[in-house]
Amino acid sequence: MDGVELFLLGRTLMKIGEEALPTEGIGGGHRPVLVVSSDILEHPGSTVGEIAARTGLPQSAVSTAVARLKAAGSIITAVDPRDRRRSLVHPADHVSPRVAEVRATPIDTAVAAALASDPAAVREVLDALDTLARHLRPRAPRVADRANPTPHGEH
């Protein structure tokens, strides 16, 4: 596999992941919310502008995603003490009911749909995804780490 194949595989996995997400009652447009949520986990204490710069999303899309995540209880915002006109965005210290619902939703049906329901292939892919997740899953910083941040890569 080369870099292009890996990138395309990643896009396919993102589409399967989107299919697996429960969307009842939240409307569309969840891709920017997922991208912003992921960035907030990796970079707690960021401003909307910083998130927009890192993700490549328009600032208005980031602001909308932040508002949705805040309403869902997934993040908290605080006034930036250095510039009181800006807000800093942090992951919530607890798992919101919406996040718990999303995390509890199995991916089996979406994977099966992508594989034309071949049970052996579904099991093989689910096992491979478990292995990838074990090794590559992004981790949210612990609450203690958020209180005492270190420069990126110094843990």
Distance, first Cα to last Cα, the chain = 31
Beta bridge pairs of residue 35:
none
Cα separation, 74 vs 26, in Å, equals 14
Tokens of 39: 């960035």
**The overall pTM is greater than 0.85:** no
Could you read off the pLDDT of 99-155 as tens digits, one per residue?
A: 788 888 899 999 999 998 689 999 999 999 999 999 987 665 444 444 444 443 333
Q: What is the pLDDT of residues 51-69, one digit of tens each?
A: 999 999 999 999 999 999 9
